[in-house]
Amino acid sequence: MKDGLVLEIQRMSTEDGPGLRTTVFLKGCPLRCSWCHNPESISPQPELQWIPVRCIECGTCVGFCSRGALSRGVEGVVIDRGACAGCGACADACPTNALEIWGRRMTAQALVREVAKDAAYFSRSGGGVTLSGGEATAQSEFCMDVLRGLRASGLNTALDTCGLCRPETLQAMLPLCDVVLYDVKMIDSNLHRQFCGASNEVILENLRLVASAVVGSAGATSLWVRTPLIPGATATIDNMKAVGGFLATLPPGSVSRWDLCAFNHLGRDKYVRLGIDWLYRDMPLMTAAELDAMKAAAQSSGVDPAIVRTSGATRLQE
């Protein structure tokens, strides 16, 4: 069995599929969405972060690194990302956990054992375990072991995917999933390439595949589509209409929900900790009116209006 690189196990998760769930975030993603609010999930390698609020400036870490990747700067610990191998030795030594490693290797068996601890909380609400990312299909072999283990434990399974993978991978995984959460960001392929670092043909083709599997009982029993609403990118009336228009061409009844998730900026500090200048650093949240307009556009796009939902914070206005 193959190890997986797990970013985080989030228990009592309420936003990643039906019921109460545990969401497993896997590390490594084939897309490079400019707005990504989990930038630490993109690289398929472990990454070191320094959390200033925890640091007591004891200096334990500096000089600890055999590759000399850590030094002390004016504003605290400086990580030389070129030199850091992500081995985590400094994080183990850091007394306050101010240095932490994003991503740890786990076996499928250990992961299943860990998430099964919350089985009692899932059942009454149709909840279970969601494999999310990063991108779960990028670690498909590992994920299939995990899904099989979850199935064997009688747990409901969900796959949260960006859809960019080989169709065979999806076809293999679908029979092991009860729910698929599928991201559709934008329909215009050029814009998609521009904002997400890859075109969307495969993504849309794969969505057709999942949709027919759902209605044909050849796999998961329900499909939820999710669209992040990013001001200046996906959050346009045209894009809402285009995405909805596309969804309307899928087999009737295959999409049971279409969630419009408003842009949020809670990931801002993660960018700082990764040393990346984020394009959306100063982007304000959407206003409630903007969110309503997106919803209205989505509802008039040709899909069953009842499947459209919105979520996420909107701008505080006096």
Partner 1 sequence: MAAINESRPGLKEPYNLSPRIGWLRDYYFKGTDRKWNNEFTAWTTGTPWDVCFQEMTYYIVPEVYFLMQALRGSYRQGAREVPLDADFWNWSLPERRAWFVRKVMVDMVPQEILPGDLVCGARFNIQTSLCLNRDEAAEYDRLLIGPNGARATMKRFHDHGYGNSGATSGHLVPGYERMLKIGWRGIHQEIEGHYQALSPEDKAGPRGCQLRAMMTAATMPRDVGVKYAARCRELAAVEPDEGRRAELAAMASNLDHVPWEPPTTFWQALQALWLGHMLVMSDENYPGPGVSFGRFDQYMLPYWQRSIAEGMDREFGKELLKCFWVHCNTAYDAQIRSGNQGITAGFGQLITLSGMGADGRDMTNDFTYAVLEVIDEMSPILEPKPNVRLHRGTPPELMDKIVQMISDSQGAPFLLNFDERSMAGMLRQAELAGMKDRINLDNVHEYAPVGCLENTMVGNDRSGTVDNNLNLVKAVELAINGGRDLLPYVDQITGVAEPVTQDGPDTGDATTFSDFEEFWAAYERQTAYIIDRCASTYEASESVRARFFQTPYLSCLVAGCAEKGRDINQGAAEINLTTLEAVTFATTVDSLLAVKYLVFDRKICTMGKLIDALRANWAGHEVLQAQARNKAPKYGRDDDEADAMAVRVMNLWCDGAWKHVTKSTGRRFRPGMLSWNYWAGDGYVVVATPDGRPRGQFLSNAICPSNGADINGPTSNSNSVGKALGGKSEDQVGNYRGYVNLLPNGASHTITFHPAVIQDPEHCEKFKSFLHGYMENGGTALQINILDPDMLRMAQKHPQDYRHLLVRVTGYNAYFVSIGRELQNEVIARMSHQRF
- Residue 195: name the closest of 224, 225, 166, 227 by CA: 227
Calpha distance 59→86 (Å, rounded): 19
The dihedral sign for the CA sequence 268, 271, 277, 280? negative
Residue 281 interacts with partner 1 (CB under 8 A): yes or no: no
Residue 261, both tokens: 């998730």
Calpha distance 61→43 (Å, rounded): 23
Query: Which residue's CB is nearer to partner 1, number 192 or number 226?
Result: 226
Calpha distance 301→187 (Å, rounded): 13
Q: How far is the CB of 273 from partner 1 (least distance, A)?
A: 9
Residues 73, 74, 82, 124: which binds partner 1 (CB under 8 A)? Answer: 124
Q: What are phi and psi of 258, to 5 degrees?
A: -130, 105
Quick one: which segment of 27-35, 39-47, 112-120, 210-218 binds partner 1 (CB under 8 A)? 112-120
Query: Which residue's CB is nearer to partner 1, number 208 or number 309?
Result: 309
Quick one: which segment of 140-148, 154-162, 208-216, 268-276 binds partner 1 (CB under 8 A)? 268-276
**How many residues of this chain bind partner 1 (CB under 8 A)?**
41
Query: Which residue's CB is nearer to partner 1, number 174 or number 182?
Result: 182
Residue 147, both tokens: 């899904």
Element containing residue 120 per DSSP (H, E): helix 119-122
Which residues lie across from 261 on neighbouring strands? 228, 311
Place of tokens 């999806």: 170
Q: How far is the CB of 241 from partner 1 (least distance, A)?
A: 23
Residue 125 interacts with partner 1 (CB under 8 A): yes or no: yes
Residues 40, 47, 118, 160: which binds partner 1 (CB under 8 A)? Answer: 118
Residues 63, 68, 95, 253: which binds partner 1 (CB under 8 A)? Answer: 95
Residue 188, both tokens: 């215009």
Site residues for partner 1, 6-45, by CB under 8 A, read: 10-15, 19-20, 37
Residue 127, both tokens: 């909840």
Residue 60 interacts with partner 1 (CB under 8 A): yes or no: yes
Instruction: State the binding string over 211-250 for partner 1 (x if CB under 8 A, else -).
Output: ----------------------------------------
Residue 53 interacts with partner 1 (CB under 8 A): yes or no: yes
Based on C-alpha coordinates, what's the Rg of the chain? Answer: 20
Residue 261 interacts with partner 1 (CB under 8 A): yes or no: yes
DSSP code at position 41 = G
Residues 6+ apart with CB under 8 A from 306: none
Calpha distance 161→170 (Å, rounded): 10
Q: How far is the CB of 277 from partner 1 (least distance, A)?
A: 15
Quick one: which segment of 191-199, 212-220, 265-273, 294-302 binds partner 1 (CB under 8 A)? 265-273
Contacts with partner 1, residue ranges (CB under 8 A): 10-15, 19-20, 37, 51, 53-54, 56, 58, 60, 95-97, 117-118, 120-125, 127, 261-262, 264-269, 272, 311-314, 316
